[in-house]
């Protein structure tokens, strides 16, 4: 989730000792986090996670590839093989020799060579995304080198949408977005315009 239950309850004015609605609030936060990462929001996974992805190289001259989850925290392995036969004939590419990682944008750039052309020719094992407040609040959490905290405006967007969803559960037809937003009424579900505007900054547009 992109924020914590405690922060959500504080935003709603619900005391920490009141746990009667915790299940509902957790469900709302999970749903809203997914909405913020969905096609109407950032259109990418935002939460820090380990991931193995297979990438295709469309053209012979391709020298850069984009990982779906960024910023990149660490790259464990990059393999190259025809027909996705990584276990049988995969060749490991060396960071700093065969490619470098633009960690802020999630981009891999080939050094002196092109990536192997074909469908599913590159397999990347890596850690990427932002460390969310919910992850940082977990018992025993210790930050690893390279981790990037979730930007405050993303958490604000998530909380704004979550409050809206909590309020509209009783009257799904009309609910005000709240103070600072012209108090406009919303007739339909989906992300609020102000929330979309924030998340738009985190969408990837390739040029």
pTM score, whole prediction: 0.88
> Is the pLDDT score of 26 beyond 90?
yes
> Among candidates 52, 4, 6, 38, which has minimal Cα distance to 150?
4
Name which of 103, 132, 104, 168 is nearest 36 in CA terms.
132
Query: Strand, helix or coil at 74?
Result: strand
Structure-token match 């891999």, residue found: 108
> For 7-21, 85-99, 164-178, which range has the lowest pLDDT when averaged over its residues?
164-178
Residue 86, pLDDT > 80, answer yes
Q: Average the pLDDT over 177-205 and give the result.
A: 71
* Residues 154, 158, 159, 164, Cα dihedral to 10°: 140
- 63 vs 122: CA distance, rounded Å: 12
Q: How confident is the model at residue 204 (pLDDT cuts 50, 70, 90)?
A: confident
Count each helix (H run) and each strand (E run) in the chain, helices first.
6, 9
- As a whole number, mean pLDDT of residues 160-178 equals 75
């Amino acid at each position: 989730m992109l924020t914590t239950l405690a922060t959500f309850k504080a935003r709603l004015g619900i005391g920490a000792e009141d746990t009667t609605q915790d299940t509902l609030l957790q469900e709302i936060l999970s749903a809203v986090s997914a909405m913020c990462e969905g096609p109407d929001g950032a259109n990418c996974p935002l939460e820090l996670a380990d991931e193995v992805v297979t990438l295709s190289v469309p053209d012979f001259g391709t020298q850069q590839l984009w990982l779906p989850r960024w910023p990149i925290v660490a790259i464990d392995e990059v393999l190259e093989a025809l027909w996705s036969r990584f276990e049988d004939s995969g060749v490991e590419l060396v960071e700093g020799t065969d490619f470098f990682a633009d960690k802020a944008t999630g981009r891999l750039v080939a050094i002196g060579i092109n990536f192997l052309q074909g469908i599913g020719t590159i397999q990347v094992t890596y850690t990427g995304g932002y460390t969310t407040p919910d992850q940082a609040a977990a018992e025993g959490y210790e930050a690893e080198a390279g981790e990037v905290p979730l930007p405050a405006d993303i958490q604000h967007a998530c909380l704004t949408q979550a409050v809206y969803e909590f309020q509209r559960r009783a009257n799904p037809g009309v609910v005000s977005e709240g103070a600072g937003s012209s108090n406009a009424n919303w007739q339909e579900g989906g992300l609020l315009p102000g929330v979309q505007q924030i998340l738009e900054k985190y969408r990837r547009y390739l040029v």
